[in-house]
Amino acid sequence: MARREDFDVCVIGTGAGGGVIADQLTAAGFRVVALQRGPHLRTGDFVDDDELKVIWRDELFSPDQLETWRPDESSPTETGQFNMTGHCVGGTMLHWSAWSWRFRPDEFRVLSEEGPVEGASLADWPIDYEEMEPYYERAEWDFGVSGDAGANPFGAPRRRGYPNPPHPDRSAGLQFKAGARKLGYHPFPTPIAANSQPHGGRPGCLYGGTCGGYGCPIGAKGTTFAVSLPKAQRTGLLDLRPNSLAFEIKIGRGGRARSVHYIDQSTREEQEVRARHVFVCGNAVGTPHLLLMSKSDSFPDGLANSSGLVGRNLMLHVFTAASFVFDKGSRVFTGLGSHAAIDDLHASDPSRGFIRGGVVGSDNFVVKQPILHALWRGSSYPGSDRDWGAGFKDYLRTFSRTASVLSVGEDLPMEANRVDPDPDVTDEWGLPVPRMTHRQHPNDVAMSSWHADRLLEIGDATGAVERWIALRVTDEEPRKGSSHLHGTCRMGDDPSRSVVDRWCRSHDIPNLWVADASVFPTSGGYNPTLTILANAYRVADYFVSEAKKGAL
């Protein structure tokens, strides 16, 4: 081993969770090394991005990602790229759409609210909304969320408003709001972590239309890439190592994590780095994958796994979406991923035939770009005779009059849904690829079907001349991956029923921490990232105060 320096903390992964940890711990004076698979892109790299390169070929973010999926243990796996993960400095957050929600108080106590559900492993979080509230506020201010506090009558209570006013409307959003009001819903501006005005030393958004799926060419979008990591680097205490793929955490004397072994992807050589504490923040696929690859005689089932729950309870969210065509321009190729939302469908109501719910965002769930519009119409687009030829050309002509709505629903955790290293398939680095075993709960399917009907009603109310379901969860259309990954190292007070404690510290290994969405016991009916950020601030605060007491 050529390099074997000692650090206070090693952070693996620099996305939402890892980025905040690196920032907060360097700010408190700790020496941190951050290992990140993939390159360190620069803001300037995003200026000339085009749809073919970025959306379709994913050239910037994860060209070497490989994984497998199967619905259950007795089925063969499919090999491919199923999750949308950014393998680069800043992680997946670098190309996120920045919808930024606080979970509602009930989302932290789903088991208590609903009681046990057959086939699901519902749990309460060991923490509640009150404990998270100040950290949500900090995340909103650091990442520059733009929104209208109080405009969502169903949202979580808050002590302080958003740092930035809401973004301006776009035609499709106005149409959505009008339609939603007709149905008695309560539309409000989607809270988005992109500056609507200069904030935090970063400029306001230009509304160029390439937000979700793209890196922001001016840094207006709130990301750990633009906010946390530069700040951590300015302290001089962060050693940021891109192209560093961790493959094993080694345990030393006393059962403490001692070092992390990684592949330097530029030289293909193995390296080792020592640290007194290790924070695994590789997302809900990467984190259990690394813990389970780190097997040894003393840990034959992988690290932090005395509960047997590492990798289990993978949650992917229930995405349901409808596409609309209007008779006039919708301008969805401008602006952000979403400008308006409703939360009226969120509260749990078992009389619908399912529990839990989710938020609905208009008016563009995937960034509206020409090739995506042409090639991805969704499974129930009416008229397969329009796949090519004159009918298809007419479909192409609808581009500037289209919009869509997306509901983000809470899926139920199931122990059988899991991530583990695939014993049969290796990647170009010789590592076993992450294998997902995942099947939807009947509640997910019922939710998606009910939401699909509501979304079509919204289409009618907005005066859409055509509308159809573009995305849903059915038994025939299983989810094989997601952009929202949660649940594989759940937090809890009981070491036999959880992987990490309420401080996201492993029950088994006292200097091993997890600070990404792996720790979510349930997935919530909102996009997850503001909660990942807030939780990472909370964990960092605890770490710093314990360290000051000498308790670590």
Partner 1 sequence: MLPLPVLDPQPRRSRLSRREFFARSALCGSTLWLLWSLPRPLALKAARQSAERLVFSEAEWKLVEAISGRIIPTDEDPGAVEAGCVNFIDKALAYEEADLRRLYQAALRAIDGLAEARFGQPFVDQPTERQDEILLALESGDVPGWSSDRASPSEFFQIICAHTIIGFLADPSYGGNRDYAGWKLIGYPGPRHEFGGYTPKQMIGEEKIQTVWGTEID
Ligand X SMILES: Cc1cc2nc3c(=O)[nH]c(=O)nc-3n(C[C@H](O)[C@H](O)[C@H](O)COP(=O)(O)OP(=O)(O)OC[C@H]3O[C@@H](n4cnc5c(N)ncnc54)[C@H](O)[C@@H]3O)c2cc1C
Residues 261-280 that bind partner 1 (CB under 8 A): 263, 267-270
For 55, the token pair is 């959306």
For 275, the token pair is 């640290």
For 503, the token pair is 């401080």
CA distance 24 to 537: 7
CA distance 140 to 277: 27
Q: What angle do CA 85, 86, 92 make, to 5 degrees?
A: 80
**Residue 167 · residue 361 · CB < 8 Å:** no
Residue 393: contacted member of partner 1, ligand X, none (CB under 5 to 8 Å, by partner type): partner 1
The amino acid occupying position 15 is G
Site mask, partner 1, residues 99-138, x = CB under 8 A? ----------------------------------------
Minimum separation from the CB atom of position 550 to ligand X (A): 29
Contacts to ligand X from residues 218-277, by CB under 6 A = 245-246
**Among 529, 538, 543, 547, contact with ligand X (rule: CB under 6 A):** 529
Q: Which is nearer to partner 1, 170 or 418 (CB)?
A: 170
Half-sphere exposure of 441 (CA within 13 A, CB side): 27
Q: Which is nearer to partner 1, 15 or 492 (CB)?
A: 15
- Listed residue (253, 132, 239, 122) closest to 504, CA to CA: 132
- Listed residue (472, 465, 372) closest to 175, CA to CA: 465
283 touches partner 1 (CB under 8 A): no
CA distance 95 to 89: 11
Q: What are phi and psi of 406, to 5 degrees?
A: -130, 130
503 touches partner 1 (CB under 8 A): no
Mark the segment that binds ligand X (CB under 6 A) among 7-15, 138-146, 296-304, 455-463.
Answer: 7-15
**Among 32, 54, 98, 194, contact with ligand X (rule: CB under 6 A):** 98
For 396, the token pair is 């192409």
Question: Token match 């059988």: residue?
Answer: 416
209 touches ligand X (CB under 6 A): no
Mark the segment that binds ligand X (CB under 6 A) among 97-105, 152-160, 418-426, 453-461.
Answer: 97-105
**CA–centroid distance for 160 within its chain:** 25
Minimum separation from the CB atom of position 179 to ligand X (A): 22
Q: Which is nearer to partner 1, 426 or 545 (CB)?
A: 426
**Among 85, 195, 305, 323, contact with ligand X (rule: CB under 6 A):** 85
Site mask, partner 1, residues 208-227, x = CB under 8 A? xxx--x---xx---------
Q: Which residues bind ligand X (CB under 6 A)?
A: 12-13, 15-18, 35-38, 84-87, 91-93, 95-99, 212-213, 245-246, 281-283, 286, 290, 483-484, 516-517, 527-529, 532
